Chains A and B, each alone.
Chain A
Amino acid sequence: MEWMNNALGRKIPADIEGKTCAPFQGAFADSREEASTAFPQGARRAIPPRQKPDKRVAGWDALFDRLAIQNGAKISFHHHLRNGDRIVNEVVARLAARGVRDLTIVPTALFPVHDALLPYIREGVITKIEGSMNGAIGAACSRGEIQRTCVLRSHGGRQRAIQEGDISIDVAFIAAPTADPYGNANGLSGPSACGPLGYAKPDSEHAGTVVVITDNLVPYPCAPWSIQGANVDYVLEVESIGDSSKIVSGTTQITRSPTQLRIAQLAARFIEATGLMTDGFSFQAGAGGISLAATVFLAERMRKAGVKASFAHGGATKVLVDLLEEGLLGSIVDLQSFDLDAVHSCAKNARHIESDPYASYGPHSRGCVANMLDIALMGATEVDIDFNVNVVTHSDGVLLHGIGGHSDACASAGCTIITAPSFRKRIPIIREQVTTVTCPGEVIDVLITERGIAVNPKREDLLWKAKKAGLPCKEISQLMREVQAITGVPAAPRFTDRPVALIEWRDGSIIDTVWQLEAE
Chain B
Amino acid sequence: MSDAQVLEAGFASKSDCLVRYTASADAVSVAVKSSVQTLFGEAIRCSALEMLDSYGVTTGRLDIEDDGALDLVVRARIEAVLRKVGFALQKGERRAAVRRPPTSRDRTRHTRLYVPGDQPHFALNADLFGADMLVFDLEDSVAGERKFEARILVRRLLENEFLFGKSEVAVRINVLRDECGKEDIDEIVAARPHVILLPKCESCSDVEILDRLLSLQEKESGIERGSIYIAPIIETSKGALAAAEIARASDRNVALCFGYEDFSRDIRARPAPVASAGAAQRKNAQTDALLAREMIVLTARSAGIQPLDSVFSDIEDTDGLTESCYQARALGFEGKAVIHPAQIEHVRRAFSPSGEEVERAKAIVAAYEESLKEGRGAVAFDGQMIDVPLVDKAKRVIEESGRGE
Residues of A within 8 A of B (CB): 256, 258-259, 261-262, 269, 395-397, 424-427, 450-451, 470, 482, 485-488, 490-491, 493
From B35, B69, B125, A450 is in contact (CB under 8 Å) with B125
Counted as pairs of residues, one from A and one from B, with CB atoms less than 8 Å apart, the total is 66
CA–CA, A256 to B37, complex, Å? 28
Residues on A with beta carbons closer than 8 Å to the beta carbon of B125? 258-259, 262, 450
Question: Given contacts A258-B340, A258-B341, A426-B68, is CB(A395)–CB(B39) below 8 Å?
Answer: yes
- Asked if B70 and A491 sit within 8 Å, CB to CB, the answer is no
Residues on B with beta carbons closer than 8 Å to the beta carbon of A491? 38-43
- B193 smallest CB distance to A (angstroms): 20
Question: Given contacts A259-B128, A395-B39, A482-B162, is CB(A427)–CB(B405) below 8 Å?
Answer: no
Cβ-closest chain B residue relative to A485: B162
Cβ-closest chain B residue relative to A482: B162
Residues on A with beta carbons closer than 8 Å to the beta carbon of B267? none
Cβ of B216 within 8 Å of any chain A Cβ, yes or no, is no
- B71 smallest CB distance to A (angstroms): 6
CA–CA, A261 to B343, complex, Å? 12
From A261, A269, A395, A490, B405 is in contact (CB under 8 Å) with A269
Cβ-closest chain B residue relative to A421: B125
Interface pairs A-B: 3 shortest CB-CB: A425-B68, A490-B39, A258-B341
- Asked if B404 and A470 sit within 8 Å, CB to CB, the answer is yes
Cβ of B183 within 8 Å of any chain A Cβ, yes or no, is no
Residues on A with beta carbons closer than 8 Å to the beta carbon of B14? 425
Could you list some 6 contacts between A and B, CB below 8 A?
Answer: A262-B125, A262-B341, A396-B38, A486-B70, A488-B70, A491-B39
- Asked if A426 and B38 sit within 8 Å, CB to CB, the answer is no
- A429 smallest CB distance to B (angstroms): 12
CA–CA, A396 to B14, complex, Å? 17
Question: Given contacts A259-B125, A269-B405, is CB(A425)–CB(B162) below 8 Å?
Answer: no
Cβ-closest chain A residue relative to B37: A396
- Asked if B39 and A396 sit within 8 Å, CB to CB, the answer is yes
Cβ-closest chain A residue relative to B129: A258
From B35, B70, B128, A487 is in contact (CB under 8 Å) with B70
Residues on B with beta carbons closer than 8 Å to the beta carbon of A396? 36-39
Residues on B with beta carbons closer than 8 Å to the beta carbon of A470? 404-405
- Asked if A486 and B128 sit within 8 Å, CB to CB, the answer is no
CA–CA, A397 to B124, complex, Å? 26
- Asked if A427 and B39 sit within 8 Å, CB to CB, the answer is yes
Extra contacts besides A425-B67, A426-B15, A491-B41 (18): CB < 8 Å: A258-B341, A259-B125, A261-B341, A262-B129, A269-B405, A395-B39, A396-B37, A396-B39, A397-B38, A450-B128, A482-B162, A485-B162, A488-B43, A490-B39, A490-B40, A491-B38, A491-B40, A491-B43
- Asked if B38 and A493 sit within 8 Å, CB to CB, the answer is yes
Q: Fill in one digit per residue for B121-132: 1 if any A CB lies within 8 Å of its CB, else 0.
A: 000110011000
Cβ-closest chain B residue relative to A256: B342
Q: Which among A426, A486, A493 has the greatest number of chain B C-beta atoms within 10 A? A: A426
Question: Given contacts A259-B128, A486-B163, A487-B70, is CB(A427)–CB(B404) below 8 Å?
Answer: no
Residues on A with beta carbons closer than 8 Å to the beta carbon of B37? 396
CA–CA, A321 to B301, complex, Å? 52
- A411 smallest CB distance to B (angstroms): 30
Q: Which among A396, A485, A493 has the greatest number of chain B C-beta atoms within 10 A? A: A396
CA–CA, A424 to B342, complex, Å? 20
- A421 smallest CB distance to B (angstroms): 8
Per DSSP, chain B at the interface is loop
Cβ-closest chain A residue relative to B341: A258
Residues of B within 8 A of A (CB): 14-15, 35-43, 67-71, 124-125, 128-129, 161-163, 340-342, 404-405
From A256, A395, A426, A485, B69 is in contact (CB under 8 Å) with A426
Residues on A with beta carbons closer than 8 Å to the beta carbon of B129? 258, 262
- A487 smallest CB distance to B (angstroms): 7
Residues on B with beta carbons closer than 8 Å to the beta carbon of A395? 39
Cβ-closest chain B residue relative to A424: B68
CA–CA, A485 to B72, complex, Å? 11
Residues on A with beta carbons closer than 8 Å to the beta carbon of B67? 425
- B276 smallest CB distance to A (angstroms): 31
CA–CA, A450 to B341, complex, Å? 13
Residues on A with beta carbons closer than 8 Å to the beta carbon of B40? 426, 488, 490-491
- A519 smallest CB distance to B (angstroms): 13
- Asked if A426 and B70 sit within 8 Å, CB to CB, the answer is yes
Cβ-closest chain B residue relative to A471: B405
Question: Given contacts A258-B129, A259-B128, is CB(A427)–CB(B36) below 8 Å?
Answer: yes
Q: Which among B15, B36, B68, B69 has the greatest number of chain A C-beta atoms within 10 A? A: B36
CA–CA, A202 to B39, complex, Å? 40
CA–CA, A482 to B128, complex, Å? 14
- Asked if A425 and B36 sit within 8 Å, CB to CB, the answer is yes
Cβ-closest chain B residue relative to A483: B162
CA–CA, A424 to B41, complex, Å? 16
Residues on B with beta carbons closer than 8 Å to the beta carbon of A451? 128
- B405 smallest CB distance to A (angstroms): 7
- B89 smallest CB distance to A (angstroms): 23
Residues on A with beta carbons closer than 8 Å to the beta carbon of B71? 488
Q: Which among B40, B42, B69 has the greatest number of chain A C-beta atoms within 10 A? A: B40
CA–CA, A426 to B15, complex, Å? 7
- Asked if A261 and B128 sit within 8 Å, CB to CB, the answer is no
Residues on A with beta carbons closer than 8 Å to the beta carbon of B163? 486
From B36, B42, B162, B340, A426 is in contact (CB under 8 Å) with B36
Cβ-closest chain A residue relative to B125: A259
Residues on B with beta carbons closer than 8 Å to the beta carbon of A258? 125, 129, 340-342
Residues on B with beta carbons closer than 8 Å to the beta carbon of A426? 15, 36, 39-40, 68-70
Residues on A with beta carbons closer than 8 Å to the beta carbon of B404? 470
- A382 smallest CB distance to B (angstroms): 12
Cβ-closest chain B residue relative to A452: B128
CA–CA, A427 to B14, complex, Å? 12
Residues on B with beta carbons closer than 8 Å to the beta carbon of A487? 70
Cβ-closest chain B residue relative to A450: B128
Cβ-closest chain A residue relative to B34: A426
CA–CA, A269 to B404, complex, Å? 13
Q: Which among B39, B70, B342 has the greatest number of chain A C-beta atoms within 10 A? A: B39
- A290 smallest CB distance to B (angstroms): 14
Cβ-closest chain A residue relative to B344: A258
Cβ-closest chain A residue relative to B14: A425
CA–CA, A450 to B69, complex, Å? 19
CA–CA, A258 to B129, complex, Å? 8
- A182 smallest CB distance to B (angstroms): 51
CA–CA, A53 to B234, complex, Å? 85
Residues on B with beta carbons closer than 8 Å to the beta carbon of A261? 341-342
From A256, A262, A424, B128 is in contact (CB under 8 Å) with A262
- Asked if A425 and B15 sit within 8 Å, CB to CB, the answer is yes
From A259, A425, A482, B35 is in contact (CB under 8 Å) with A425
CA–CA, A451 to B161, complex, Å? 15
CA–CA, A451 to B127, complex, Å? 10
Residues on A with beta carbons closer than 8 Å to the beta carbon of B35? 425
Residues on A with beta carbons closer than 8 Å to the beta carbon of B36? 396, 425-427, 490
CA–CA, A509 to B41, complex, Å? 36
- B67 smallest CB distance to A (angstroms): 7
Residues on A with beta carbons closer than 8 Å to the beta carbon of B15? 425-426
Residues on B with beta carbons closer than 8 Å to the beta carbon of A425? 14-15, 35-36, 67-68
Residues on B with beta carbons closer than 8 Å to the beta carbon of A259? 125, 128
Cβ-closest chain A residue relative to B36: A426
- A337 smallest CB distance to B (angstroms): 28
- A272 smallest CB distance to B (angstroms): 11
CA–CA, A426 to B70, complex, Å? 6
Residues on A with beta carbons closer than 8 Å to the beta carbon of B342? 256, 258, 261
From A262, A424, A427, A486, B162 is in contact (CB under 8 Å) with A486
Residues on A with beta carbons closer than 8 Å to the beta carbon of B124? 486
- A404 smallest CB distance to B (angstroms): 25
CA–CA, A477 to B134, complex, Å? 29
- A239 smallest CB distance to B (angstroms): 40
Residues on A with beta carbons closer than 8 Å to the beta carbon of B161? 485
